[in-house]
Structure 1
Amino acid sequence: MKRTASILLVILPLLVYSQNSDYTVTSYMKEGVKAPNTHHIGDAWLNFLVKADDDINYNITQATFSANSTLDWHKHTTPQVIIIVEGEGYYQERGKEPIILKKGDVIKCEKDIEHWHTSTADSEVSYIAIYGNEPTIWTEKLTQEYYKSVAKKLKR
């Protein structure tokens, strides 16, 4: 009986002060859904953290690409912010040199700027992308030859 009373004394406050289930909580710690290989080569997972609706006009998505993956050239009709949360990735805007982004890096791509971003040849990358509620405009296939030339150029 004492044991039951002790257990109730521990559990009861937890039940009273537990989180309200009316909240929608997501996590960028989960893997997400495997993306079909429509505009990329390699494995990619998408975790839709916040979807635009009547109250908020932008999306927040976590994307994870396996090492040595490509993502096609594209642009957005709104600015896009990319926050690298794990690994390393390549980033390039049309007409500029490619760079390597590392964990902790944040980059903003202005609207209507053609660009691509994905994992490096040797590292998976996971990033959070913040972008407007408009479809991505896919402009050109990123070839394996071009990706390999970037990997060779940026290899340390």
Structure 2
Amino acid sequence: MFTGDVWFDVIAKGEEPSRMRVNTVRFAPGSRTAWHSHAVGQTLYVTEGLGLIQSRGGEIIKIRPGDVIYTPPGEWHWHGAAPDHFMTHIAMWEGPGEGQGPESDWGDLVTDDEYRVR
């Protein structure tokens, strides 16, 4: 699911009827998620450092403390730290209802070529 060193702490994992999930995620420089999507979308709130995010087919975007990024349901994307900075964000998403499939789908690791900021 990750390239490099990534740590996460679960803040909330709602029990039915709540499906809210909240994690603090810390990325070492150059670390990032694999390509993935969320069934019900995801919101990231950057708290520290400098990071990068990209939706499939889109530009790589720099993210900084205070930035709020929303990825809609089913949108393939990745996010992580910039090459020379740590980055921390709070990830918030909902799980789908019972029997409605996985919370997230995980794809290939982001290659070094894909990760390079152009």
TM-score normalised by length of structure 2:
0.89
In structure 1, C-alpha distance between the alignment counterparts of 2:38 and 2:93, rounded to whole Å: 8
Q: 2 CA distance for matches of 1:141 and 1:86?
A: 24
User: Counterparts of 2:103 and 2:53 in 1: how far apart (Å)?
Assistant: 20
Cα distance in 1, alignment partners of residues 94 and 79 from structure 2 = 17
- Distance in 2 between the 1:70 and 1:144 partners? 10
Count of residue pairs the alignment pairs up: 112
Of 6, 19, 22, which residue of structure 2 is paired with 1:60? 22
Residue 135 of structure 1 deviates from its aligned partner by: 3.0
Q: Which has the higher contact order (CA 8 A, sep 6+)?
A: 2
CA contact (8 A) 2:47 2:66 kept: yes
**How do residues 61-140 of structure 1 correspond to structure 2 at under 5 angstroms?**
61-133=23-95, 134-140=102-108
Compute the displacement of 1:41 (Å).
1.6
Distance 1:140 1:46 in 2: 20
SS of 2:107 mapped into structure 1: strand
The list of structure 1 runs, each at least 4 consecutive aligned residues, that deviate by more than 3 angstroms after superposition, is none
Q: Distance in 1 between matches of 2:53 and 2:16?
A: 31
Q: Which amino acid aligns with 1:146?
A: E
Quote how far apart the aligned CAs of 1:81 are.
0.3
- 5+ residue gaps in structure 1? 1-38
Aligned to 2:11: 49
The structure number with the bigger radius of gyration is 1
Distance across 1 between alignment mates of 2:18 and 2:36: 23
5+ residue gaps in structure 2?
96-101
Secondary structure of 1:56's match? coil
CA-CA distance at 1:42 after TM superposition: 1.2
Counterpart-to-counterpart distance in 2, 1:73 and 1:115: 5
TM-align CA RMSD? 1.1
* d(CA) in 1 for partners of 2:32, 2:69: 19
